[in-house]
Amino acid sequence: MSDSIRAAVMTGPRRPLEHRQLSSPRPEPGGAVLETVASEVCGTDVHLHHGHLAGVPYPIIPGHVNVGRVLETNGPARDVEGRTIEPGRLVTFYDVFGVCGSCWHCLVAKAGTRCPHRRVYGITTSADEGLLGGWAERIEIKPGVRLLPLPDGLSAEDFMGGGCGAPTGFHAVERAGIALGDTVVVQGSGPVGLSALAFASLAGALRVLVIGAPAARLEAARRLGAEDTLDVAAARPEERVAWVLDRTAGRGADVVIEASGNPAAVAEGLEMVRDAGRYVVVGQYTDAGDVSLNPHRHLNRKHVTLSGCWGYEFTHLHRSVQMMARFKSRFPWRRLITREYRLADAAEALRDMERLAVVKALIRP
Ligand SMILES: [Zn+2]
Ligand SMILES: [Zn+2]
């Protein structure tokens, strides 16, 4: 086993990526080491590079959602069914650790994604603490981090085509409480929006309409079963609202899911949802500014249910992976991978994601 591991390190906002040689980790008791098979570049990595997230302990090794092959464990690793995970097995893992299970948020509010002790691989972990991100040849699995074997028939590419967007979109769909026959609008056509589209269909939506950009992402939306798509850049805000009303007998959609990252989309989305409909905001992962709402018109009189959706829990990762395996021919997530990049080209991958030249950028360490 080689002792030297290559990693791409983000040293700070707007600073060039550094390529470092780090020593190969040995698993702690109850932990494991993975050989990285695939990592990704997502919108969050672009935000990290812009310095838009508070409390990030630069230098970091980005790459929160990953697939790897188990190289070594220290003590038996088991899945949630109690089955042993042997070396050589292809796995992903829940990228969150440190959720304490004993604080007010965990126990009283039952809101694990808001536990103040929650930490995330590739985002709130420093490169000085070890190989805790996927832009590296190996990944250290801390004790307590849950490994999730990919089901038979689900390849690394099938899963990574959705990547972190899949469990995030799954969680948003769960929050939306979609009923059989609902009409759903998704604002945003990145991996979160596209995954929300697929899972909304599986949840029983009659039809899903997607508003986003650029053309390649809208084409992907149609491939995943969107009934209709609208290029956000080709229409003014009131035209986008009219586009939805035209398709819903003037009433608006039963459910609107915001996955765009643009604060203005929230005021606009509230115009697109019907009276007594549901609106889920999942795309505002960073603070991109304020918008003004009309509380009478948008909320109170509309009798709307408005939900935020922060991160995801193990249940969403587990269930989304099983669903991706079961429905992969209907929803070809792997086709969302526009391009693969070697670790040495991570900066280029980051740039391509920044200018939305790719739907999903895969990193192949
Ligand atoms: Zn807690
Ligand atoms: Zn992500």
160-191 tens-digit pLDDT: 999 999 999 999 999 999 999 999 999 999 99
Determine the distance separating the centroid of ligand 2 and the alpha carbon of 260, expressed in angstroms: 14
Coil, helix or strand for 70?
strand
Residues in Cβ contact with 219 at an 8 Å cutoff, skipping those fewer than 6 apart: none
Q: Output phi, psi for 205, to 5 deg.
A: -60, 140
Determine the distance separating the centroid of ligand 1 and the alpha carbon of 90, expressed in angstroms: 30
Say how far apart CA 318 and CA 91 lie, in whole Å.
12
* pLDDT value for 2: 63
Alpha-carbon distance values, 236 to 24, 88, 94, 230 (Å): 53, 52, 39, 11
Say how far apart CA 335 and CA 329 lie, in whole Å.
11
pLDDT of 336 above 60:
yes
Mean pLDDT of the chain: 96
Q: Which ligand is nearest to the CA of 164?
A: 2
Q: Output phi, psi for 209, to 5 deg.
A: -110, 135
* pLDDT value for 227: 98
Determine the distance separating the centroid of ligand 2 and the alpha carbon of 207, expressed in angstroms: 26
Determine the distance separating the centroid of ligand 2 and the alpha carbon of 166, expressed in angstroms: 10
Q: Which ligand is nearest to the CA of 109?
A: 1
- What is the percent of the chain with per-residue pLDDT over 70, rounded to a whole number? 99
**Band of pLDDT at residue 307, cut at 50, 70 and 90:** very high
How many residues are given for the chain? 365
Determine the distance separating the centroid of ligand 1 and the alpha carbon of 312, expressed in angstroms: 15
Determine the distance separating the centroid of ligand 1 and the alpha carbon of 213, expressed in angstroms: 38
Determine the distance separating the centroid of ligand 2 and the alpha carbon of 311, expressed in angstroms: 10
Question: Is residue 353 within 8 Å of residue 361, measured between CB atoms?
Answer: yes
pLDDT of 1 above 60:
no
22-71 tens-digit pLDDT: 999 999 999 999 999 999 999 999 999 999 998 899 999 999 999 999 99
What's 130's DSSP letter? -
For residue 75 the two structure tokens come to: 């003590």
